[in-house]
Amino acid sequence: MRYEAPSTLDQAVALLVNEPGEARVLAGGTDLLVQMRTDLIEPVLLVDIKGIAELRQIREEAGGFRIGAAVSGAELKEHPKLKAIWAGVVEAANLIGSTQIQGRATMGGNLCNGSPAADSVPALIAAGAKATVVGRKGRRDVPVEDIMLAPRKLSLAKGEVVASFLLPAKPARTGDAYLRFIPRTEMDIAVVGCGVCLSLDRKGTCSAARVSLGAVAARPLLVAPAAAALIGSKVDAAALAKLDAAARAACQPIDDKRGTKEYRIKVAGVLARRAAQIALERARTS
Ligand SMILES: Cc1cc2nc3c(=O)[nH]c(=O)nc-3n(C[C@H](O)[C@H](O)[C@H](O)COP(=O)(O)OP(=O)(O)OC[C@H]3O[C@@H](n4cnc5c(N)ncnc54)[C@H](O)[C@@H]3O)c2cc1C
């Protein structure tokens, strides 16, 4: 196996494109190395992207934030402005693993590992984040919800790398939140994850919303009917009941040792309501 650590994105793409065998991007390695150790995958080339400066930066852009795909969870948490503005996204990324994992794990790896239960993904989707993907044909911006197609299947072409995420400018009176449910108190995979972002008008009526669910289908979902349940309401009990029903209706979960289908569907509704209430509080005070 070959290990390369390029210093530019162009070099990384060229290495990945020109390798005829299985080539993988190495970010934090917290999924990749586990899969290699357990012989799930045997890449012939690893392209470490942590030495590429533009992938390690968090910077303000177009009123929002551009976050490099190789920024770790710990680095996200240490950015007070980002944390204050996109609290749900930073909280979601910081639910990943332990302190040790936080020092390595990236949102790029969380997305590109292709797990429907990845914690940061529903939060990014709810926030309306776009992934900037770079490949041999250049750059393209892709809504985060369009990157993962099914477990371990992405919409990326050979050699394409997720370079960064663009979190948009956050409108006034907007709040986001992410909640997950896990069987243990820490270090477990979500039974359900839910991200909500909502905006209020001057009278406190919800004027825009996005709701995303993880771990309840083959890919993280953007649930438009759940958002519609909130828009035009005061996010009161009636709207939350509609949100709960719409979130449950969107679920197509599996049965496994962490929860039955019925359990996951019920939890999805509960988490959607709770995440919406946190997002509402944040929108009111933002
Ligand atoms: C103990 C432990 C606890 C964990 N807990 C959680 C948890 O609570 N929640 C959760 O969601 N996950 C959890 N994980 C999984 C893992 O830590 C996360 O998915 C993490 O975000 C992966 O990021 P990484 O940078 O380490 O990715 P890597 O392991 O480096 O890469 C993962 C995959 O994505 C590809 N890849 C990485 N970056 C890019 C890129 N920029 N462009 C294209 N492809 C790319 C790699 O080739 C690889 O296939 C845990 C893992 C461990 C070991």
DSSP tag of 160: -
Report the pLDDT value the prediction gives residue 184, as an integer from 0 to 100: 78
Where do we find the tokens 């302190």?
99
Q: Residue 31 C-alpha to ligand 1 middle, in angstroms?
A: 4
State in Å, rounded, how far the first CA of the chain is from the last one: 50
**β-pairing verdict for 138-143 and 130-135:** antiparallel
Q: Relative to the CA of 120, which ligand 1 atom is closest?
A: 11
Tokens standing for residue 177: 């939140």
Q: Whose CA is nearest to atom 3 of ligand 1?
A: 97
Q: Is 135 helix (H, G, I), strand (E, B) or coil?
A: strand
**Model's pTM, two decimal places?**
0.97
Q: String of b and e for 62-100 (b: at least 16 CB within 10 Å)?
A: eebbbbbbbbbbbbbeebeebeebbbbbbbbbbbbbeee
Q: How far apart are CA 214 and CA 180, in angstroms?
A: 9
**β-pairing verdict for 174-181 and 64-68:** unpaired
The answer for residues whose C-beta is within 8 angstroms of residue 73's C-beta and 6 or more apart is 93, 94, 96, 97, 101, 102, 103, 105, 106, 107
Would you say the CB of residue 55 lies under 6 angstroms from ligand 1?
no
Q: Relative to the CA of 119, which ligand 1 atom is closest?
A: 11
φ, ψ for residue 55 (rounded to 5)? Answer: -85, -5
The alpha carbons of the chain give a radius of gyration, in whole angstroms, of 19
Q: How far apart are CA 134 and CA 141, in angstroms?
A: 9
Q: Whose CA is nearest to atom 53 of ligand 1?
A: 30
Report the pLDDT value the prediction gives residue 280, as an integer from 0 to 100: 98
* Average pLDDT per block of 10 residues along the chain, 286 residues long: 97 98 98 96 97 98 97 97 97 95 97 97 98 97 98 97 98 97 82 97 98 97 98 98 98 89 97 98 96
Tokens standing for residue 249: 């209706």
Q: Residue 169 C-alpha to ligand 1 middle, in angstroms?
A: 26
Report the pLDDT value the prediction gives residue 185, as an integer from 0 to 100: 75
Q: Whose CA is nearest to atom 43 of ligand 1?
A: 161
Q: Relative to the CA of 27, which ligand 1 atom is closest?
A: 30
Residues 79-101 pLDDT 10s? 999 999 999 999 999 999 999 99
Would you say the CB of residue 101 lies under 6 angstroms from ligand 1?
yes
Q: Residue 98 C-alpha to ligand 1 middle, in angstroms?
A: 13
φ, ψ for residue 120 (rounded to 5)? Answer: -80, -15
**12: enclosing H helix or E strand:** helix 9-18
Q: Relative to the CA of 41, which ligand 1 atom is closest?
A: 49
CB of 239 within 8 A of CB of 228?
no
Report the pLDDT value the prediction gives residue 259, as an integer from 0 to 100: 85
DSSP tag of 164: E
Q: 237-250 and 261-285 helices cross at what angle (nearest 10)?
A: 140
Would you say the CB of residue 118 lies under 6 angstroms from ligand 1?
yes
What is Dmax (Cα atoms) for the chain?
60
Would you say the CB of residue 69 lies under 6 angstroms from ligand 1?
yes
Distance of CA 229 to the CA centre of its chain: 23
Q: Is 115 helix (H, G, I), strand (E, B) or coil?
A: coil
CA dihedral 269, 273, 275, 279 (to 10 degrees): 150
Q: How far apart are CA 117 and CA 99, in angstroms?
A: 20
Q: Whose CA is nearest to atom 5 of ligand 1?
A: 97
